[in-house]
Amino acid sequence: MAKRTPRQKGDPRMPGESVEQKKARAKRLIRGLRKLYADADCALQHRSALELLVATILSAQCTDERVNQVTPKLFAKYEDAHAYADADPDELEELIRTTGFFRNKARSILGLGRALVEDHAGEVPREMEDLVRLPGVGRKTANVLRGTWFGLPGITVDTHVKRLAGRMGLTGETDPVKIEFALQKVFPEKDWTFTSHALIWHGRRVCNARRPECDRCALRPDCPFPDG
């Protein structure tokens, strides 16, 4: 009798599911998500790559709704990277205060503006290796920008995607970067960006953290939670 591989903690994978079966299930999940959220997209309001980048930095530990309330005045005052680079820290902090952790975010945005001016002629780069070198930008923020603005495939792992990836038994990883790479192996590349947005929408509307509404979830047939 073959020795069973022990489950990783928090990994509710389907019993005996092969890699190919998991990929097939992932495709069914995508079909379900497209029926539920055909228009799934980034909820952060923006008109340029820079605006999206700044909004995503502000969204850390903050709701998109709150960020969208703050950014109109922010974007009107700072129209390009040079404006952020030369911004008065106190004025910038005051404008973003209600997003939380405003001092850290202000430092990141000031540093972002300076880095864009000094290293990229004021333009936002599109390559991952360039983006993650910018202050306040990690892989999650970079994937938001690459997928939403530049149309490049990328999986954004925020708290919702992290939670759903585990509940759906798609990966037992808990580190966001490892989750990103694990999901890349499961979902077709062409669906990466949409799947990220749709999982976020589903996490907010149905599969929430405290009381997931499994009884009304259209994805339930392909999800092992909570039985897994």
Q: How far is CA 69 from CA 18, 63, 76, 114, in A?
A: 46, 10, 13, 25
Task: Give the right CATH number for 49-148 from 3.30.559.10, 3.40.47.10, 2.60.40.10, 1.10.340.30.
Answer: 1.10.340.30
> In this structure, which long-range contacts are made by residues 43-52, counting pairs with CB atoms below 8 Å and at least 24 apart in sequence?
43/68, 44/68, 44/71, 44/144, 45/71, 45/72, 46/71, 46/149, 47/75, 48/124, 48/149, 49/124, 49/145, 49/149, 49/150, 50/80, 50/81, 50/116, 50/124, 51/75, 52/144, 52/145, 52/148, 52/149
Condensed to tens digits (0 to 9), the pLDDT of residues 76-129 reads: 999 999 999 999 999 999 999 999 999 999 999 999 999 999 999 999 999 999
Q: How far is CA 214 from CA 9, 151, 205, in A?
A: 21, 32, 11
Given this model, what pLDDT does residue 228 score?
Answer: 52
- Which residue, among 68, 76, 44, 52, has the nearest Cα to 149 in the 3D structure? 52
Q: Which fold has domain 19-40+154-222?
A: Endonuclease Iii, domain 2 (1.10.1670)
Condensed to tens digits (0 to 9), the pLDDT of residues 15-36 reads: 678 999 999 999 999 999 999 9
What gap in Å lies between CA 114 and CA 81, rounded to an integer?
A: 7
Given this model, what pLDDT does residue 222 score?
Answer: 95
Q: Does pLDDT of 134 surpass 90? A: yes
Given this model, what pLDDT does residue 88 score?
Answer: 97
Measured from the Cβ of residue 180, the count of other Cβ atoms closer than 10 Å reads 23
Given this model, what pLDDT does residue 104 score?
Answer: 97
**What are the φ/ψ torsions at residue 138 (nearest 5 degrees)?**
-110, -170
pTM of the full predicted structure?
A: 0.88
What confidence tier does 9 reach under pLDDT thresholds 50, 70, 90? Answer: very low
Residue ranges of the domains in the chain? 19-40+154-222, 49-148
What is the set of active-site residues? 140, 158
What gap in Å lies between CA 182 and CA 161, rounded to an integer?
A: 12
Let me know: does 86 contact 99? Beta carbons within 8 Å. Answer: no
Residues with Cβ < 8 Å from 76, sequence gap 6 or more? none
What gap in Å lies between CA 188 and CA 195, rounded to an integer?
A: 10
Mean of the per-residue pLDDT values for the chain? Answer: 92
